[in-house]
């Protein structure tokens, strides 16, 4: 029941968000017609009017939105001006690149951040803890793209261990690119995103650890004579792991933004570079498509986080109103 209501509520939200992005883009001072045919076209005014009428540019905003939404449901996102290909195709290809990048960074930062946070929390106040805490606080106040630039100039330029960018070696035929090549090119962007994503989850786990370790039930467990190991697996782990996972799912929005910046730094052909290219070139269909993908991505993350809350928090499972 909880899952059902949450899903419905979030679906309505998704529709609203898509409408919001549609309005924002439709109100832009960019004429889609000029953007499509170019400023130096020799088309007559009648031909232009005909295209505008064919595209429905003279319709009212709601009409246009519903037309677009209907097409989206049929997976027709229009034609990208920048890449001269259907938007769905461009997004599909680019997203497959970005998804590997994001999933790897997401999983790695989650696991490493969790372990680091645990370690840091268990050593609370000692030197390693203070070092980890300071490091994470610094990470949180550092822009992603700057870390990317530093990583790039250290590992790719100074040391020359990794390629400078792209997703495959330049000058190699697409058919010849091996999985090894791809992984080799993925390492630096994934490393950057992992480091950036780690700060939040580490600090969260650390705080939760300290909170739980100082709680009465842990004190009672100690009084019962449980060993540190038992206490850790029975009480502390269980209390931290699940909220940490949900926090990690709820960070999809930041992950997406970080990915867009990291992709720009490493000129990685993913969804982030497509978004910036679309917005810089006035490519309305592609921009709408990528905004929709972004919204869907955040939607998926938030939905999972919400459902996990419900599944793992018995108070919510019983349908109580505790929030």
Partner 1 sequence: MATIYNVGKKNHAHEKTGAGIAKCARANTGARLPAHARLMPATNSRRGLLIVICACLAYLLTVFFCGMFMNPELYAVNYGNKFIAPEWGHPFGTDFMGRDMFFRCVKGMSNSLAIGLAAAAISSVIGLALGISSAVIGGKFDKFILWCVDCCMGLPHLVLLILISFMLGRGEFGVLCGIALTHWPELTRVVRAEVVQLRTSQFILASYKMGMSKFQVAKAHVIPHVLPVYFVGLVLLFPHAIMHEAAITFLGFGLSADMPAIGVILSEAMAHLATGKWWLALFPGLMLMLAVVLFEAIGGGLNKLLSPASGHE
Q: Which residues bind partner 1 (CB under 8 A)?
A: 13-14, 16-17, 20-21, 24-25, 27-30, 124-126, 130, 137-138, 141-146, 149-150, 152-154, 157-158, 164, 252-254, 256-257, 260-261, 264-265, 275-276, 279-280, 287, 290-291, 294-295, 297-299, 302
**φ, ψ for residue 86, nearest 5 deg:** -60, 140
Spatial contact of 198 and 116, defined as CB atoms under 8 Å apart: yes
C-alpha dihedral sign at 231, 306, 103, 260: negative
What are residue 86's DSSP bridge partners?
A: 79
Return the closest-CA partner of residue 71 out of 86, 60, 82, 81. Answer: 86
Dist. CA 3–CA 13, nearest whole Å: 15
Of residues 127 and 173, the one with the C-beta less far from partner 1? 127
What is the biggest distance separating any 2 CA atoms in the chain, rounded to whole angstroms? 88
Taking the complex as a whole, the smallest distance from the CB of residue 311 to partner 1 amounts, in Å, to: 21
CB of 164 to partner 1, least distance (A): 6
Q: Where are the alpha helices (DSSP H) in 27-142?
A: 32-37, 45-55, 61-73, 87-122, 127-140
CB of 190 to partner 1, least distance (A): 19
Say how far apart CA 35 and CA 57 lie, in whole Å.
Answer: 13
Q: Smaller CB distance to partner 1: residue 83 or 256?
A: 256
Dihedral angle sign, alpha carbons of residues 224, 227, 233, 239: positive
Instruction: State which residue, 47 or 157, has the beta carbon closest to partner 1.
Output: 157
CA atoms within a 13 Å half-sphere pointing along the CA-CB vector of 235: 20
Shortest Å distance, C-beta 48 to partner 1: 22
Nearer to partner 1, 86 or 282 (CB): 282
CB of 253 to partner 1, least distance (A): 5
Closest CA to 111 of 187, 185, 205: 205
Shortest distance (Å) from residue 93 CB to partner 1: 19
Give me the phi and psi of 44, to 5 degrees please. -75, 165
Q: Which is nearer to partner 1, 118 or 293 (CB)?
A: 293
125: its two tokens: 């106040």
Q: Which is nearer to partner 1, 27 or 229 (CB)?
A: 27
Nearer to partner 1, 104 or 262 (CB): 262
CB of 309 to partner 1, least distance (A): 15
């Amino acid at each position: 029941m909880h899952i059902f209501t949450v899903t419905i509520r979030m679906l309505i939200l998704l529709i609203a968000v898509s409408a919001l992005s549609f309005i924002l883009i439709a109100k832009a001072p960019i004429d889609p017609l000029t953007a499509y045919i170019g400023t130096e076209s020799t088309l007559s005014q009648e031909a232009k009017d005909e295209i505008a009428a064919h595209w429905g540019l003279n319709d009212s905003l709601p009409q246009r939105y519903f037309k677009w939404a209907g097409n989206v449901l049929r997976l027709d996102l229009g034609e990208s001006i920048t890449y001269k290909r259907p938007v769905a195709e461009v997004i599909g290809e680019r997203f497959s690149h970005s998804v590997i990048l994001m999933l790897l960074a997401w999983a790695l930062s989650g696991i490493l951040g969790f372990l680091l946070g645990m370690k840091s929390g268990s050593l609370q106040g000692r030197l390693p803890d203070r070092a980890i805490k300071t490091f994470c606080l610094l990470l949180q106040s550092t822009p992603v793209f700057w870390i990317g630039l530093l990583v790039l100039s250290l590992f790719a330029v100074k040391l020359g261990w990794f390629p400078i960018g792209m997703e495959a070696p330049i000058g190699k035929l697409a058919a010849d690119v091996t999985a090894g090549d791809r992984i080799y090119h993925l390492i630096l962007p994934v490393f950057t995103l992992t480091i950036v994503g780690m700060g939040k989850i580490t600090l969260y786990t650390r705080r939760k650890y300290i909170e739980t370790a100082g709680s009465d039930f842990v004190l009672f467990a100690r009084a019962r004579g449980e060993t540190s190991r038992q206490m850790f697996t029975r009480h502390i782990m269980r209390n931290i792991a699940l909220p940490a996972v949900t926090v990690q799912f709820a960070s999809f929005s930041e992950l997406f933004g970080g990915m867009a910046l990291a992709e720009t730094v490493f000129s990685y052909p993913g969804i982030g570079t497509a978004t910036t290219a679309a917005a810089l070139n006035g490519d309305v269909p592609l921009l709408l498509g990528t905004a929709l993908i972004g919204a869907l991505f955040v939607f998926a993350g938030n939905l999972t986080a919400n459902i996990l809350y419900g599944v793992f928090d018995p108070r919510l499972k019983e349908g109580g109103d505790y929030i």
